[in-house]
């Protein structure tokens, strides 16, 4: 393809955008709004996944020791727990520490040990973390067979429900993003079709004098890419500053909610939106022009 021909394509594309300014604005607005919604849902999905992963990593297995086990026997158990495959962290909470925690909950003015007749009925316990959520149950089952372990608790029902929620969040989120992406292509194709319709006679004349289909397509193709890119850029700017504002405020007001604050990852998502916007604009143009080339 000659440089002069390429220049002609770009000239025609920008001339069309200038001539059909309001239609171009409509196309850009359509892309921007649609991709903004896609971006919002994408950020919701990845943050929901991030929160779920964070909750997964916080899951602990509590191994309650036999009340009658001596401290030396309890300490020997720690080595056995560390040797279990899949265990990454083991922390001993002695009965004295457990009583102190309870005292803090009741308040400084309350002497819990005295009310219990000077006898601490609490058992020593181990807080155990697995290397992955999938290994929580196998580790817990192994712990039940360790000597001097009286009871093991890891909230099996909670874990199962958490895994189910995570699966549904990922599936529904991916489905919504896909549907919104298809909707964006449809909306852009419909909007650009109006531009093509306004030039249908020009296209027919070019076909009659022997212009090839791709010679006619290229200006519209470039026009769609430019409009899609501009719309995606607008959506990306709004999304970036809005997300940055929300994360900054939530981090200080709702510190218990973990959100993705890595702006490098957010920039990658916004870069993907730019690529998606350009692709959507180009595809929408090709779909729109195809009908009018059948002369």
Q: List, for residues 47-104, the tens digit of each pLDDT value.
A: 777 776 666 666 788 888 888 888 888 888 888 888 888 888 888 888 888 777 776 7
Which pLDDT tens digit goes with each residue over 151-168?
888 766 766 776 777 778
CB 54 within 8 A of CB 183: no
Average pLDDT (132-160) is 81
Q: Over the range 89-105, which residues count as b (16 or more CB within 10 Å of their CB) and which as e?
A: ebebbbbeeebeeeeee
Residue ranges of domains in the chain: 3-56+161-292, 60-153
pTM: 0.61
CB 92 within 8 A of CB 80: no
Residue of 264 and 2 predicted with greater confidence: 264
CATH architecture of 60-153: 2-Layer Sandwich (3.30)
Q: Over the range 136-171, which residues count as b (16 or more CB within 10 Å of their CB) and which as e?
A: beebbebbeebebbeebebeeeebeebeeebeebee
Q: How confident is the model at residue 221 (pLDDT cuts 50, 70, 90)?
A: confident
Q: Which two tokens stand for residue 253?
A: 């007001």
Maximum pairwise Cα distance, the chain? 105
């Amino acid at each position: 393809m000659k440089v002069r021909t390429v220049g002609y394509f770009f000239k025609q594309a920008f001339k069309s955008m200038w001539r059909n300014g309001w239609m171009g604005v409509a196309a850009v607005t359509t892309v921007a709004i649609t991709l903004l919604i896609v971006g919002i849902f994408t950020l919701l999905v990845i943050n929901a996944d991030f929160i779920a992963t964070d909750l997964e990593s916080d899951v602990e297995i509590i191994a309650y020791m036999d009340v009658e086990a001596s401290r030396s026997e309890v300490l020997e158990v720690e080595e056995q727990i560390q040797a279990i495959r899949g265990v990454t962290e083991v922390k001993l909470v002695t009965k004295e520490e457990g009583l102190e925690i309870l005292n803090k909950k009741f308040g400084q003015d309350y002497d819990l040990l005295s009310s219990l007749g000077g006898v601490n009925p609490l058992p020593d316990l181990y807080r155990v973390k697995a290397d992955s959520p999938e290994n929580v149950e196998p580790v817990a089952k192994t712990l039940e067979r360790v000597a001097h372990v009286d009871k093991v608790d890891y909230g099996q029902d909670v874990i199962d429900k958490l895994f189910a929620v995570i699966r549904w969040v990922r599936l529904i989120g991916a489905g919504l993003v896909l549907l919104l992406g298809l909707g964006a292509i449809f909306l852009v194709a419909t909007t650009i079709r109006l531009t093509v319709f306004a030039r249908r006679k020009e296209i027919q004349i070019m076909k009659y004098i022997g212009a090839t289909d791709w010679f006619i397509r290229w200006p519209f193709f470039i026009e769609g890419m430019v409009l899609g890119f501009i719309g995606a850029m607008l959506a990306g700017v709004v999304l970036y500053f809005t997300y940055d504002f929300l994360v900054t405020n939530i981090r200080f007001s709702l510190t218990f909610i973990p959100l993705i604050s890595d702006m490098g990852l957010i920039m990658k998502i916004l870069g993907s939106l730019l690529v998606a916007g350009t692709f959507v604009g180009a595809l929408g143009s090709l779909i729109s022009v195809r009908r009018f080339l059948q002369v």
